[in-house]
């Protein structure tokens, strides 16, 4: 049974607390799920699942609920806490997710995919679906991944650098419209002061991380850890020696990547190749 606060009687578990608040707000309004759905334009079953804790919903629906109930930032804050809760992720990733949430800065190399912190909902859904997820579990994992993006927003967000292999940008989604959204999001993200996007072109040649996606996290105590991943497994590396060897390989690769300005132009050229009308 979830731990209860001695003051409010509410759950300390973020996702449970979020569902509790949704039920309370609707009860205070005296609305049925059907009336709520008619007012906001979403299906009543979605609100029912959110109140049961079966799904968190996306940021758009939560923003609509916050406006409907007049809660200010309360609902969005609860949603962010629930979406960022390590328990939302598969057990083998929870230790990493906890460290990611605490990181002061992060630097990443993507060998084949965009990092989760910069993925659009459509990209995340396609990628996770290709990995075998479906149904409610797919929905939960997509919501959790999109919730992580909020960590790069707000006051004093962490610095985040991503270097994307050219292969990432030349592996489109089947849905041209969703692929366009992903490329546009990369361009938009690169304009933020705390985010740097670079491209490693094919012409840069082989490098020490050719088959390995990696992200480094600088923690509050100054320690740096690394997380490496391939299609079949991920590994959190905390020992100083292996982390430093990975950093040397990363630094050598970064020296051969396009500058942030050149990288932005590269992504824009990729955008120009995507049809505006997915049916074309």
Between 86 and 181, name the one with better pLDDT.
181
Given pLDDT bands bounded at 50, 70 and 90, which one contains residue 89?
low
**Rounded to an integer, what distance in angstroms lies between the CA atom of residue 78 and that of residue 13?**
10
Same domain, 162 and 32: no
To the nearest whole percent, how much of the chain has pLDDT over 90?
A: 45
Average pLDDT value for residue range 159-172:
96
The mean predicted confidence, pLDDT, of the chain is 85
Same domain, 79 and 102: no
Q: Which domain holds residue 40?
A: 14-84
61 domain-assigned: yes
Same domain, 65 and 179: no
**Rounded to an integer, what distance in angstroms lies between the CA atom of residue 279 and that of residue 171?**
18
Same domain, 188 and 226: yes
Same domain, 256 and 132: yes
Between 27 and 278, name the one with better pLDDT.
27
9 domain-assigned: no
Q: Report the pLDDT value the prediction gives residue 109, as an integer from 0 to 100.
A: 97
**Rounded to an integer, what distance in angstroms lies between the CA atom of residue 154 and that of residue 92?**
28
Same domain, 74 and 115: no
What is the total count of domains within the chain?
A: 2
3-state SS assignment for residue 58: coil
**Rounded to an integer, what distance in angstroms lies between the CA atom of residue 216 and that of residue 67?**
38
Same domain, 215 and 146: yes
Same domain, 45 and 99: no
Same domain, 51 and 130: no
Per residue in 66-77, pLDDT (tens digit) is 888 888 877 777
Average pLDDT value for residue range 114-143:
89
**Rounded to an integer, what distance in angstroms lies between the CA atom of residue 133 and that of residue 103?**
28
Separation of CA 52 from chain center: 23
Per residue in 91-122, pLDDT (tens digit) is 556 778 778 888 999 999 999 999 999 999 99
> 0.75 exceeded by the pTM?
no
Q: Report the pLDDT value the prediction gives residue 190, as an integer from 0 to 100.
A: 96
CATH number at residue 237: 3.30.870
Same domain, 135 and 215: yes
Q: Report the pLDDT value the prediction gives residue 161, as an integer from 0 to 100.
A: 98
Between 88 and 107, name the one with better pLDDT.
107
Average pLDDT value for residue range 146-154:
82
Among residues 84, 100, 115, which one ends one of the domains?
Answer: 84
Among residues 84, 110, 129, which one ends one of the domains?
Answer: 84
DSSP bridge partners of 10: none
6 domain-assigned: no
4 domain-assigned: no
Closest CA to 83 of 142, 125, 24: 142
Given a cut of 50, whether residue 5 has pLDDT beyond it is no
**Rounded to an integer, what distance in angstroms lies between the CA atom of residue 85 and that of residue 125?**
19
Tokens found for residue 110: 């993507």
**Rounded to an integer, what distance in angstroms lies between the CA atom of residue 164 and that of residue 167?**
8
Contact status, residue 67 vs residue 41, Cβ threshold 8 Å = no
Q: Report the pLDDT value the prediction gives residue 71, as an integer from 0 to 100.
A: 82
Q: Report the pLDDT value the prediction gives residue 257, as an integer from 0 to 100.
A: 97
CATH number at residue 29: 1.10.260.40
Given a cut of 80, whether residue 279 has pLDDT beyond it is no
Closest CA to 146 of 128, 163, 134: 128
Same domain, 133 and 255: yes
Sign of CA dihedral 178, 183, 186, 191: negative
Per residue in 198-236, pLDDT (tens digit) is 999 999 999 888 888 999 999 988 999 999 987 677 888
**Rounded to an integer, what distance in angstroms lies between the CA atom of residue 241 and that of residue 176?**
43
Question: 144-148: long-range contacts (C-beta < 8 A, 24 or more apart)?
Answer: 144/56, 144/83, 144/88, 144/89, 145/116, 145/119, 146/58, 146/59, 146/83, 146/119, 146/121, 147/56, 147/79, 147/80, 147/82, 147/83, 147/84, 147/88, 148/83, 148/84, 148/97, 148/100, 148/116, 148/117
Given a cut of 50, whether residue 138 has pLDDT beyond it is yes
7 domain-assigned: no
Q: Report the pLDDT value the prediction gives residue 85, as an integer from 0 to 100.
A: 59
Contact status, residue 253 vs residue 207, Cβ threshold 8 Å = yes
Among residues 61, 84, 107, which one ends one of the domains?
Answer: 84
CA torsion 9-10-12-14 (nearest 10°) is 180
Q: Which of 19-33, 161-175, 265-279 has the highest mean pLDDT?
A: 161-175
Same domain, 51 and 153: no
Q: Report the pLDDT value the prediction gives residue 84, as an integer from 0 to 100.
A: 62
249 domain-assigned: yes
Tokens found for residue 94: 């929870």
């Amino acid at each position: 049974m979830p731990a209860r606060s001695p003051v409010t009687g509410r759950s300390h578990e973020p996702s449970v607390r979020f569902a509790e608040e949704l039920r309370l707000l609707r009860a205070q309004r005296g609305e049925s799920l059907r009336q709520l759905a008619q007012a906001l334009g979403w299906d009543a079953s979605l609100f029912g699942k959110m109140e049961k804790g079966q799904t968190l919903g996306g940021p758009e629906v939560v923003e609509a609920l916050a406006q409907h109930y007049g809660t200010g930032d309360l609902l969005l804050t609860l949603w962010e806490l629930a979406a960022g809760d390590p328990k939302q992720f598969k057990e083998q990733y929870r230790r990493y997710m906890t460290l990611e949430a605490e990181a002061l800065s992060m630097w990443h190399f993507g060998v084949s995919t965009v990092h989760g912190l910069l993925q659009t909902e459509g990209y995340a859904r396609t990628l996770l679906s290709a990995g075998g997820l479906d149904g409610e579990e797919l929905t939960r994992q997509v919501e959790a991944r999109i919730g992580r993006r909020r960590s790069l927003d707000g006051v004093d967000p962490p610095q985040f650098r991503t270097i994307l292999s050219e292969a990432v940008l030349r592996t489109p989604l089947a849905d041209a419209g969703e692929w366009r959204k992903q490329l546009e999001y990369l361009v938009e993200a690169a304009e933020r002061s705390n985010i740097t996007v670079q491209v490693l072109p094919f012409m840069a040649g082989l490098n020490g991380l050719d088959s390995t996606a990696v992200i480094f996290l600088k923690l509050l105590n100054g320690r740096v850890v690394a997380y490496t991943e391939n299609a079949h497994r991920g590994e959190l590396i905390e020992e100083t020696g292996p982390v430093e060897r990975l950093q040397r390989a990363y630094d050598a690769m970064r020296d051969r990547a396009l500058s942030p300005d050149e990288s932005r132009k590269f992504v824009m050229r990729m955008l120009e190749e995507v049809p505006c009308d997915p049916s074309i």
